Chains A and B, each alone.
Chain A
Amino acid sequence: MRPLSEESPRSDPDLVDAFRSGEESAATELVHRHAGALGRYLYGVGADPADLEDLVQETFFKAFRALGGWRGEATFRSWLFRIGGNLRKDWYRKHGRRVVLPIEDQDLADSSDPEGEAGATEMERKLREGLGQLPRLQREVFLLRAQQGLEYEEICAALGTTPGSARVHYHHAVRRLKELMK
């Protein structure tokens, strides 16, 4: 028998099955695995940094409660992003707040290179403002592809579109963002 530390990590579907069987620690492991990516995605689609933790927790809670509806057509992560994206939309509709697009300095990536940091700051600011001007589907496809590295098949499973449409949305988004960032 191999030592515990050498065991390969369990896959998401394995953890989901374990959770369904009552293994609570499987939920903990799934949160650890996906919380960071989910937070980045939610920030990219326009969530206020101050709301990120609440949104991440709420997304996981809803996902675990709805696990009966996950059939594995989409990956657990892309399914999570779909829930998170819908939740964010409802969250701001319910709270009557517009998504905060301009970002504060403390929200930008840290860097030991002040010159590079200033460039990244300006780039990120423009990027987020540009993302805020895209139609929702373009923004989500672009982020799932460019930020999260999902394949088009996963994206269309998550967003309920076709791979062909997802590609078109991606290219529209790139074109518009390039125009906005010039």
Chain B
Amino acid sequence: MNDSHLDSERLLAVVQGQARWSAEEAEHLEQCAECRLEWNLVRATRSLGRAPAGRVVPARAAATVVHRLRTEEQVPASVRSFPARWLVGLAAVAAIVFAVLIPGGTMPPDAAASGNEMAVLHELDGLSEAELEIVLETIPPPADAATHVEAAPIGELSATDLERMLHSME
């Protein structure tokens, strides 16, 4: 207690249950309106928001947060400490997109039709604009646009090539 009023830190210690009033302090508090006002202020603050915050159900909040962490895990965050894994994922996406987009790519038509490319698209869906830009940058432009345009006409394809093409369209 200073010359005239109770110390603010002392009020906090008592309201937080870390100390008790001495007889002298209790008497002062009873007589001093200024100290009583501060005492009432810190007491009210200590209990402020109990009722509305009591409506926040921790179990429900925890379940929601954990669910979101699971389902949104695939979106890479700059803060995450797994940049290598993220880059490997992006490289894999880029490689598959490259194989699908480039004419004459090595991916067999039956593999392309097996649904694997759907997984790639799902993964792309989870990427942000910036990440999609990175993926795009890793994809080389078509080797030669003319190659696609001037691809061999169907009449010149072998029987095996035609069979593969028909299979991929099914």
Contacts and interface: CB of A to CB of B under 8 A. Distances in A.
Interface in B41-88: 41-42, 44-66, 68-70, 77, 79-81
A141 to B, nearest CB: 12
Contacts of B70: 24
A147 interface: yes
Interface string A20-31: 100010011001
A22 B48 CA distance: 36
Contacts of A1: none
Contacts of A38: 53
A114 interface: no
B117 interface: no
A60 B61 contact: yes
A123 B40 contact: yes
Interface residues of B, number: 40
Nearest to B41: A177
A142 B45 contact: yes
Nearest to B75: A65
B48 A128 contact: yes
Nearest to A55: B56
B147 interface: no
A56 B46 CA distance: 19
A145 interface: yes
A31 B51 contact: no
B66 A28 contact: yes
14 contacts: A27-B66, A38-B53, A39-B52, A39-B54, A40-B50, A52-B53, A60-B65, A67-B79, A107-B52, A123-B44, A124-B47, A124-B48, A127-B44, A127-B45
